Structure 1
Amino acid sequence: MRRFLKVLGIIVVLLALVVVIYFVFMTVTDYKPKEVISLNVENNLDNILPKETKLSALTFNIGYCGLDAGQDFFMDGGTGSRSKSKEKTLENLKGITEFIEGQTVDFILLQEVDIKATRSYNINEYEQLKEKLTDYSSTYCINYKVPWVPVPLAKPHGSVKSGLVTLGKYKIDETNRYGYPGKEKWPRQLALLDRCFIESRLPVEDGKELVLLNSHLSAYDKGGVIRKQQLGFLKEYISQEYEKGNYVVVAGDWNHAIPGTDSNIFESSQEWPEWLKEIPEDFKPEGFKWGADKNVPTNRTVDIPYKKGENYLSVIDGFLVSPNVDIVGVKGHQLEFEYTDHNPVTLEFILK
């Protein structure tokens, strides 16, 4: 009995040592980007943005090509932590790419694009997208860089290097990564995203700039304290840019129910999920307008695989534009969450 207890004690000590080493390693290697980072534009084009001409933009969270209709996700109450297989990841990437290629849009704004991650079998999704979308310039920025996410224990989420992608058909003078304020407490933050947006500054023929933002806000902070900080930061930023006389278009995954949309119109057997919050009424600067298709859901719950009529559906992906931008139309694309847990949205707009 004594020998058994001694061996057990040694095992406990070794396990404790492994845990300590892991947290030290994660803390030392924690990705801590500067508040503003200059980004590179690949294949930058010479076209100058016209005024009073219809333009278009597509926003799409591609869910690292691993959250197709057959998948659930552990962070939302499911058990899945990775794409089903490498083959399925490539199949999803192919379907997403072919959909995008079939759209005639000036700008493409993507979220959750992996360049090297265990969950997507280390497929560089950004490189494969660029190979197909050669008519566009491209910008990439990291918002999720973690050496190893150890949960779920049976099949860990693993190593992650992922981010945002902005593609465009017009000249970009400057592009930057802006970090959002607010962090979870240690050690939880070590395994979470570092939320940010890509700022692309494009010259317009009238001498002003279009400030195009590709944004991905937080989803899991309890009480919404961090999201409140992020929205406050974003409001101040876009207000200042508009006051300079610039055109502002914000696109992306808001992780909030977009004002003017009603999730109750979508058939579902589930209740409103805890993580889903409403955007406060005082967030939107005066005169700014929301661009969302209230009739097409852009997100499904991922605590269970997708089954029509069961998952809770909502509109959390869309656009916000400044008063000097006219919205011509907004269209949500009902893809039935075949390749990812989001549906894409297209905005048509005119710079006044």
Structure 2
Amino acid sequence: MKRRGLWWKIPTAALALVLAAVLGYLCYALLTYYRVEDWQTLTVNGQGGGPAETDRSYKLLSYNIGFGAYSPDYGFFMDGGDYSRAFSEEAARANVTGALETAAGQAPDFVFLQEVDADATRSYHVDEQQMAAEALGGDMVWVSAQNYDSPYLLWPLTCPHGASRSGIMTFSACEVTGSVRRSLPVEAGLTRYLDLDRCYTVTRVPVADGRELCLYNVHLSAYTSDGTVATEQVKLLAADMAAEYAAGNYAVCGGDFNKDLWEDSAAVFGVAGEGQTWAQPFPEELLSGGIRLEVPDAGAANPVPSCRNADGPYVPGESFVLTVDGFLVSENVTVEAASVVDTGFAWSDHNPVLLTFRLEP
């Protein structure tokens, strides 16, 4: 009888161990979650040129480099694809190098980068921020802000996504007097463990006429279940920019808005996006106070998309594509051109976008 009793104790003990492991992991995820403080002062690195000038053209390039994972044959598990990490450390380095060379090749005066890992399981702990600083920071001032520092995500079980410390970086060929990180609203429920922290940065460039050029680098939320969060993020950003414009300064924002800037990219690019609930139209009605949206390639006969869906390998003409990367500018900024740099999604699931502008005297 005692031997038969052991039969029941073994699976019971195993189940208890599994439950203890699950509870332990949940406690770890809950206890290690935190948000970076708002209004965090950022370190300004390097030395750029002098102040910005009015009545001359500047080029700003914005590029979500996708933590070095998204070669054209890559699909991300959170988008319906098969992979949770870059294919290898070598692949991550190659993709980041390709993206940085593409950015430098446009000879921009300002560069905004998003999804640049500092130390992450998904990118094999490659310090992509150091790579960017070495590639672009020689003749530019640069600042880096931590967008999120996630606990170890134990999913998928066969190849966990792991822990991610990632950020956004701003480079300027002009002088920079300061930069701050602004925390964006995020969901309060369990979804926040998937969408993580979110922020934008405000980097101040003095202008020769005594005013300031305020550069906003932004990466808004993607995996939200509550649409009001996305609305509140845009409201905060737009109000901040409007306040700077009201104070007499210039405001230019670029980045990944994770919103369909065309409102209906499926109609523009001829590829249906069934089930792509994250690709909601950008709420342009929230912009006021002299702030307007600039959609790249808006006047082009054959516009190029800035983003592909990462539910699998990129197949031209079949994969869902849209434009989520673009710009917001204040009324005292004249836009000469806004375009998408067509890389064929060679290094990321995003193409870089380029803004040529002038500051009105």
Task: State the TM-score bracket (shorter-chain normalisation).
Answer: over 0.9
Quick one: which of 295, 311, 314 aligns to 2:322? Answer: 314
Which letter maps to 1:217? Answer: L
2:197 matched residue in structure 1: 194
Distance in 2 (CA, whole Å) between partners of 1:59 and 1:4 is 62
* Contact 2:59–2:110, Cα closer than 8 Å, also in 1: yes
Change (3 A) 1:260 1:18: closer
1:305 matched residue in structure 2: 313
2:159 matched residue in structure 1: 155
* Contact 2:145–2:181, Cα closer than 8 Å, also in 1: yes
2:18 matched residue in structure 1: 15
* Contact 1:261–1:315, Cα closer than 8 Å, also in 2: no
Change (3 A) 1:261 1:349: farther
The C-alpha deviation readout for 1:174-224, integer Å capped at 9, x for no partner, is 1000000132413x4234321100110111111111110000001111241
The C-alpha deviation readout for 1:211-258, integer Å capped at 9, x for no partner, is 100000011112412101111111221111111111000100000011
* Contact 1:46–1:171, Cα closer than 8 Å, also in 2: yes
The residue correspondences of 1:47-66 to structure 2 (distance < 5 A) are 47-66=50-69
2:81 is the counterpart of 1:78: yes
Distance in 2 (CA, whole Å) between partners of 1:55 and 1:337 is 25
* Contact 1:293–1:345, Cα closer than 8 Å, also in 2: no
2:184 matched residue in structure 1: 180
2:346 matched residue in structure 1: 338
Distance in 1 (CA, whole Å) between partners of 2:354 and 2:170 is 14
The C-alpha deviation readout for 1:268-324, integer Å capped at 9, x for no partner, is 254361111112242121543322224110011111111111111101101010000
Deviation at 1:79, TM superposition (A): 2.1
Quick one: which of 287, 293, 299 aligns to 2:297? Answer: 293
Which letter maps to 2:244? Answer: E
2:135 is the counterpart of 1:132: yes
1:167 matched residue in structure 2: 171
2:243 matched residue in structure 1: 240
User: Unpaired runs of 5+ in structure 2?
Assistant: none
The C-alpha deviation readout for 1:4-37, integer Å capped at 9, x for no partner, is 3321111111111112222222222213211110
* Contact 2:263–2:280, Cα closer than 8 Å, also in 1: no
2:324 is the counterpart of 1:323: no
Q: Secondary structure at the match of 1:115?
A: strand
* Contact 1:92–1:339, Cα closer than 8 Å, also in 2: yes
Distance in 2 (CA, whole Å) between partners of 1:351 and 1:262 is 30
* Contact 1:248–1:321, Cα closer than 8 Å, also in 2: yes
* Contact 2:184–2:200, Cα closer than 8 Å, also in 1: yes
After TM superposition, the runs of 4+ consecutive aligned structure 1 residues lying more than 6 A away are none
Change (3 A) 1:24 1:260: closer
Q: Secondary structure at the match of 2:288?
A: coil
* Contact 2:176–2:206, Cα closer than 8 Å, also in 1: yes
Query: What is the identity percentage for the equivalent residue pairs of Structure 1 and Structure 2?
Result: 34
Greater displacement, 243-252 / 283-292: 283-292
1:103 matched residue in structure 2: 106
Distance in 2 (CA, whole Å) between partners of 1:110 and 1:34 is 21
1:25 matched residue in structure 2: 28
The C-alpha deviation readout for 1:73-120, integer Å capped at 9, x for no partner, is 111122210001111111112211221221111000000000111111
* Contact 1:180–1:195, Cα closer than 8 Å, also in 2: yes
Distance in 2 (CA, whole Å) between partners of 1:288 and 1:221 is 25
Paired positions, count: 351
* Contact 2:186–2:192, Cα closer than 8 Å, also in 1: no
Distance in 1 (CA, whole Å) between partners of 2:332 and 2:262 is 20
* Contact 1:204–1:210, Cα closer than 8 Å, also in 2: yes
2:271 is the counterpart of 1:268: yes
Greater displacement, 105-114 / 259-268: 259-268
